[in-house]
Amino acid sequence: MKKYQSILLAAFAFSFVACEPEFENEVTNESYSKGEADFTTYVALGNSLTAGYMDGTVYRSGQQYSFPNLLAKQFAVVGGGSFTQPSFSDDTNDLGGLLLMGQQAAATRLIINMSTGGPQNLTGTPTIEISNLQAKAYNNMGVPGAKSFHLLAPGYGNLANVATGKANPYFVRHATSPNTTVLSDAMSMNPTFFTNWIGANDVLAYALSGGVGVSQEGNMDPSTYGSNDITDRQVFASAYTTIVNTLTSNGAKGVVATIPDVTSIPHFTTVPYNPLTAEALGGEATVDQLNAQLLGPLKQILTALGQGNRINSFSKTEGNALLVKDETLTDLSQQITAVASQNQQLAPIAGLLGQLYGQARHASRNDLFVLGTSSVIGTTSTAPIFANVPSPYKELFSKIGVTFPLEDKYVLVPAEQTIIKTATKEFNDIIWAAARSKKLAVADMNAIMGYLTGGIRLGDGQWYTADYFKGTGNMNKVLFSLDGVHPNPRGYAFVANEIVKVINEHYKAKLPMLVPGNYPGVTIKASN
Amino acid sequence: MKKILSISLLSLLATNTFAGGYRISMQGQRQLAMGHTGVAVIGQNAESLFFNPASGTFLKNKWSFSAGATALVSNVKFQNSLYNWSNSTTNTGTPFYFYGNYQASDRFSVGLAVYTPYGSSVEWDQDWPGSHLVNNIDLQAIFVQPTVSYKITDNISVGAGLIYVNGGVTFNRNLSRSMVDENGNRSDVTIDAAGVSAWGYNLGVTARLDDYVTFGVNYRSQIDMKVEGGDAKFHDMPSFLGGTYTNGKFDASMPLPAELTIGFSYQINDKWLAAVDYNHTFWKAYDNLVIDFDNPAIATSVNPRNYKSSGTMRGGLQFAPSEKFSARVGGYYDISPVQDGYFAPETPRNDALAGTVGFTYQVTPKFGIDFAASALHFKETKNSYDHYIEDGTHVSFGGDYRSSAYSLGLGLSYNF
């Protein structure tokens, strides 16, 4: 019997050996390494892209997905410390937007309203008060709207300067003093590692305005720049070098990011140049009417003036081009009016034709339209010139993008795109040079953005593109938020991943990667 | 003492009794201890009814009863060093059985077998990185099988059983890799089907080739578990989809594949018995898991599985030094039916090597107690499931998987 007891005991012993199986190489924090970098105190410098801005604003839940916050989680595996971001605890209803002294100063975040199908500002009043001063430096020093030189500008965080546009409402909320600078607050954190993604607004603001601003080439005083202007190259170089020199002054290492070619973001690539199908115009009869009453005669006039290719008759079978005002064209207003006056039928509206179509042309595939164009195409213009125009001319000539040329702010014509591309390249050359001089890693967001327009396939097999939200067809893979400029949470995870790759390579670190597919996309609501 | 030591060492070295896919091989303590062989093992106890319905007429007593249950603990670990993912799940199961046989005459016997050969319970952390494939699954089935066995000659017996299956499944997974409701909770769906019944059959032949060698063959039919009107419940849906993804019914079908087993036993002498089986399971039947929702607005969920048919080699040895006591040891090698790229975390099993051990203490000539323990060692594997579709693109999920399973079982037999 004793023998059997022993066997029984052996069987029980056996059951206790039943512990978890072991991997040959168990994944633990020790599987990763910081390489040559020191992530103890990570500080992120930049603009809206660093702040976690998305859907046209910063809002509480979205800010959690800022790329620096996502990066800091990866850094934590290899000794990265805590990572703080400006407080948005006053964004009670997660609406974003801004208030200044109780008055709404910026719109709430964009959402997709399922009941109407399009992006809309979320209904509600913002609760983020600009004058609610935190006076605190944070690890995330990204300031939405900041240009290179703004990071060095005293008073950029002064509440008193908000009204004059010389201060930034987001920086005002957390500037440690009215006259501090963004860079100075950032340095007060004593960074051991940094990311610096500044510079996009030095050219993006011009692009977003549809090229309304001007290039400030040669103007060395940025305090005289308009908000939509392109920064002078030397001003940019000086500001950028100062920022990088200061950030590295205590031996910190980091990553600088290049400026993406903004013309490849969905803000400019979503609205086609030729959305006007016969159906969209209101039927084939409308096409006939437009050709007979306006486009035909206008083309005849312009042909007589040697500019017949500015205007084309509409097709019933294909998408027709939008009508735009191209300020680079010779203004033929007077000539058009003169020719039209000769024609018995057109004589009564000869003045109007001249005013409307002096610099008008049909768009081509080389024109880029801003996202907001889609909501004005086909709507009725209330421009002052229509004040005294009688029916039916008023109705015929006031259709925006069809008979009334889209204003400059809606379109980037090739000349404006060239200005943008040139400035982007110049600024990026400066960024590369600064990085080389300090042996910093470069996240080439410009190149990545370029690849993204063609599609980038990640390790999990998913293809990501620079497309705008298209509905249920791409809702699980769209990377951009509804403003068409900034990434959504998934897009910021994609950005963080690219930076992880660069750090791993440049600093010989081994940081874990992120899976963008596991992060949320755009917010869709049943109604608004 | 030397003998005891060798058994306990074996038990530590060897590994258990869980088979490929979602099959659990624990249908009798004595045979489990012999590597779950048994298609050609005769004259033991009523357990044989499971292994071969033809064996009823070779039982020694007029009445034979056997019942038992097993405590099963299985572990699965998952990791991916690229993303710093580590997850593990420990699940328990209690497969049980009851067998009874009555020798109506020298040539004819009838019996009843009740057993639970399928079961798969895997519970990952809710919202873990593979949550779009599975959060948790619990699959259970009980088989009730009346059998008859008839001796054509003194040495050849045939048998047949009619199988009635009653089972159920609960399965939860997230709706996608990223969908959340307004409060940031991940959207998920639970499908639940209980009381699903199906029929199958079981045929066998046992032939005593001489005084030492017995041959057996057993065929178990495929059984299709058809779920009609199971419950689908959606949780934490964003409001814009709440109107589409409404709780409702679903239909689905899951095959319990056919199996063919052939084997030999060899009565070496009075004390030693050896057995080998080869089991071929027609897993190929499991090509897709299709979940068809009654709500026409919800697209049918097609989940490719693409299993391949596979085999298990089994071997066991019994040592019976006295009427009172017998000891057993065995093992098997089970080739996984899961193909590369179809490695879904709901049945994260790789090829397995099992070691089994057990003994019987015959309290009285009629009443015996059986013990069996087993350990299953699965090879570490780096594999993935590449057939999840996200916005029209195949998206892969995978990493390193490693599993193990252990069991301890108790059985009782009463023969008279």
Residues of chain B with C-beta less than 8 angstroms from the C-beta of A518: 129, 177-178
For residue B158, the model assigns a pLDDT of 96
| Angstrom distance (rounded) from CA B152 to CA B146 | 20
User: Do the beta carbons of residue B290 and residue B302 sit within 8 Å?
Assistant: yes
Among B82, B359, B406, whose Cβ lies nearest the Cβ of A459? B82
How close does chain A come to B313, measured CA to CA in Å? 23
By the 10 Å C-beta count (0-12 exposed, 13-18 middle, 19+ buried), A41 is classed as: middle
Digit-coded pLDDT (tens) for A441-477 = 999 999 999 899 889 999 999 999 999 998 878 999 9
The sign of the CA dihedral A117, A118, A123, A128 is positive
Collect all residues with Cβ–Cβ distance below 8 Å to A7 and sequence separation of at least 6.
Answer: B4, B7, B8, B327, B359
If you count them, how many residues does chain B have? 416
For residue B19, the model assigns a pLDDT of 38
| Angstrom distance (rounded) from CA B130 to CA B400 | 13
Is pLDDT at A12 greater than 80 in this prediction? no
CB pairs under 8 A, 24+ apart, for A10-13? Answer: A10/B4, A10/B7, A10/B8, A10/B11, A11/B11, A11/B357, A11/B358, A11/B371, A11/B373, A11/B408, A12/B408, A13/B8, A13/B11, A13/B12
Contact check, Cβ <8 Å, A20/B404: yes
Among B12, B390, B397, whose Cβ lies nearest the Cβ of A477? B390
How close does chain B come to A10, measured CA to CA in Å? 5
| Angstrom distance (rounded) from CA A47 to CA A158 | 18
For residue B12, the model assigns a pLDDT of 29
How close does chain B come to A52, measured CA to CA in Å? 17
Output the six-digit token pair for B207: 């032939």
How many CB pairs (< 8 A) connect A and B?
Answer: 141
Query: What pLDDT band is residue A10 in, cutting at 50, 70 and 90?
Result: low
Calculate helix-pair angle for A489-506, A67-75, nearest 10 degrees.
50
Q: Within a 10 A sphere around the Cβ of B231, how many other Cβ atoms? A: 15
Buried b (16+ CB within 10 A) or exposed e, B349-387: bbebbbbbbbbbbbeeeeebebbbbbbbbbeebebbbbb
For residue A303, the model assigns a pLDDT of 93
User: Do the beta carbons of residue B167 and residue B117 sit within 8 Å?
Assistant: no
Interface test with B, best of A65, A476, A479 (most B CBs within 10 A): A476
Digit-coded pLDDT (tens) for A412-445 = 999 999 999 999 999 999 999 999 999 999 999 9
Q: Is B63 helix (H, G, I), strand (E, B) or coil?
A: strand
Collect all residues with Cβ–Cβ distance below 8 Å to A438 and sequence separation of at least 6.
Answer: A244, A245, A248
Contact check, Cβ <8 Å, B359/A3: no
Q: What is chain B's pLDDT, residue by residue, as a tens digit (416 residues)?
A: 333 333 333 322 222 233 345 677 889 999 999 999 999 998 788 999 999 999 999 998 999 999 999 998 989 999 999 999 999 998 888 899 999 999 999 899 999 999 998 877 889 999 999 999 999 988 888 999 999 999 999 999 999 999 999 988 899 999 999 999 988 899 999 999 999 999 999 999 999 999 999 999 999 999 998 999 999 999 999 988 888 889 999 999 888 899 999 999 999 999 999 999 999 999 998 888 888 999 888 888 888 889 999 999 999 999 999 989 999 999 999 999 999 999 989 887 788 899 999 999 999 999 999 999 999 988 899 999 999 999 999 999 999 999 999 999 999 999 99
Among B83, B361, B380, whose Cβ lies nearest the Cβ of A23? B380
Question: Closest-CA residue in chain B for A475?
Answer: B391
Q: Outline where DSSP puts E strands in A73-128.
A: 98-100, 103-106, 110-113, 119-121
CA distances from A403 to A279, A297, A336, A396, A398 (A): 16, 13, 16, 7, 6
Among B327, B386, B402, whose Cβ lies nearest the Cβ of A21? B402
Q: Within a 10 A sphere around the Cβ of A391, how many other Cβ atoms? A: 7
Q: Classify domain A30-264+414-525 at the CATH topology level.
A: Rossmann fold (3.40.50)
Closest CA to B219 of B167, B159, B276: B159
Interface test with A, best of B371, B393, B403 (most A CBs within 10 A): B393
Residues of chain A with C-beta less than 8 angstroms from the C-beta of B394: 461
Residues of chain B with C-beta less than 8 angstroms from the C-beta of A460: 395-397
For residue A318, the model assigns a pLDDT of 92
| Angstrom distance (rounded) from CA A28 to CA A13 | 29
Digit-coded pLDDT (tens) for B371-405 = 999 999 888 999 999 999 999 999 999 999 999 99
Nearest-5° Cα angle at B413, B410 to B416: 170
Contact check, Cβ <8 Å, A462/B4: no
How close does chain A come to B232, measured CA to CA in Å? 22
Window from A182-196, A384-398, B36-50 with minimum mean pLDDT:
A384-398
Among B184, B240, B397, whose Cβ lies nearest the Cβ of A61? B184
Contact check, Cβ <8 Å, B395/A461: yes
Average pLDDT over residues A25-34: 94
The enclosing H or E element of B195 equals strand B188-208
Residues of chain B with C-beta less than 8 angstroms from the C-beta of A19: 75
Domain that holds residue B11: 2-415
Among A11, A460, A490, whose Cβ lies nearest the Cβ of B395? A460
Q: What CATH number does the domain containing B12 carry?
A: 2.40.160.60
How close does chain A come to B33, measured CA to CA in Å? 12
How close does chain A come to B149, measured CA to CA in Å? 36
Contact check, Cβ <8 Å, B359/A4: yes
| Angstrom distance (rounded) from CA A472 to CA A25 | 40
Among B178, B243, B400, whose Cβ lies nearest the Cβ of A490? B178
Strands B288-293 and B272-281: unpaired
How close does chain B come to A18, measured CA to CA in Å? 6
Is pLDDT at A409 greater than 70 in this prediction? yes
DSSP track, A238-276:
HHHHHHHHHHTTTS-EEEEEPPP-GGGSHHHHSB-S--B
| Angstrom distance (rounded) from CA A497 to CA A502 | 9
Alpha-helical segments (H) within A2-94: 2-16, 48-51, 60-63, 67-75
Closest CA to B168 of B244, B110, B96, B229: B229
CA distances from A43 to A183, A254, A512, B50 (A): 10, 9, 19, 68
Residues of chain B with C-beta less than 8 angstroms from the C-beta of A112: 240
Closest CA to B372 of B386, B360, B382, B363: B360
Contact check, Cβ <8 Å, A11/B11: yes
| Angstrom distance (rounded) from CA A39 to CA A236 | 28
The rounded Cα A24 to chain-centroid distance in angstroms is 45
Residues of chain A with C-beta less than 8 angstroms from the C-beta of B183: none
| Angstrom distance (rounded) from CA B298 to CA B244 | 7
- HSE (CB half, 13 Å, CA atoms) of B22? 23
Residues of chain A with C-beta less than 8 angstroms from the C-beta of B380: 21, 23-24
Contact check, Cβ <8 Å, A27/B396: no
If you count them, how many residues does chain A have? 528
Contact check, Cβ <8 Å, A20/B177: no
By the 10 Å C-beta count (0-12 exposed, 13-18 middle, 19+ buried), B341 is classed as: middle
Interface test with A, best of B87, B92, B177 (most A CBs within 10 A): B177
Q: In chain B, how many domains are there?
A: 1
How close does chain B come to A182, measured CA to CA in Å? 32
Interface test with A, best of B1, B75, B83, B325 (most A CBs within 10 A): B83
Helices and strands (H, E) in chain B, number of each type: 4, 20
Residues of chain B with C-beta less than 8 angstroms from the C-beta of A20: 75, 77, 88, 90, 404
How close does chain A come to B384, measured CA to CA in Å? 10
Q: Is A294 helix (H, G, I), strand (E, B) or coil?
A: helix
| Angstrom distance (rounded) from CA A358 to CA A59 | 44
How close does chain B come to A35, measured CA to CA in Å? 16
How close does chain A come to B236, measured CA to CA in Å? 14
Interface test with B, best of A14, A29, A500 (most B CBs within 10 A): A14
Question: Closest-CA residue in chain B for A27?
Answer: B81
User: Do the beta carbons of residue A195 and residue A44 sit within 8 Å?
Assistant: yes
Digit-coded pLDDT (tens) for A492-518 = 999 999 999 999 999 999 999 999 999
Collect all residues with Cβ–Cβ distance below 8 Å to A517 and sequence separation of at least 6.
Answer: A458, A460, A462, A476, A477, A490, B177, B178, B390, B395
Closest CA to A352 of A383, A326, A330: A383
Is pLDDT at A131 greater than 50 in this prediction? yes
Contact check, Cβ <8 Å, A21/B386: no
Output the six-digit token pair for B371: 């013990």
The sign of the CA dihedral A423, A428, A434, A436 is negative
Mean pLDDT of chain A: 92
Specify the amino acid at residue A98. Answer: L
Question: Closest-CA residue in chain A for B33?
Answer: A11
User: Do the beta carbons of residue A161 and residue A175 sit within 8 Å?
Assistant: no
The sign of the CA dihedral A334, A335, A341, A345 is negative
Q: Is the peptide bond before B345 cis (omega within 30 degrees of 0)?
A: no
How close does chain B come to A91, measured CA to CA in Å? 15
Among B4, B77, B129, whose Cβ lies nearest the Cβ of A10? B4
Contact check, Cβ <8 Å, A21/B403: yes
Among A114, A512, A519, whose Cβ lies nearest the Cβ of B178? A519
Radius of gyration in angstroms for the set of CA atoms belonging to chain B, rounded to a whole number: 23
Residues of chain A with C-beta less than 8 angstroms from the C-beta of B240: 112, 114, 524-526
How close does chain A come to B14, measured CA to CA in Å? 10
CATH 3.40.50.1110 domain extents, chain A: 30-264+414-525
Name the DSSP class of B39: T
Contact check, Cβ <8 Å, A518/B129: yes
Phi, psi dihedral angles at A316 (to 5 degrees): -90, -15
Question: Closest-CA residue in chain A for B183?
Answer: A61
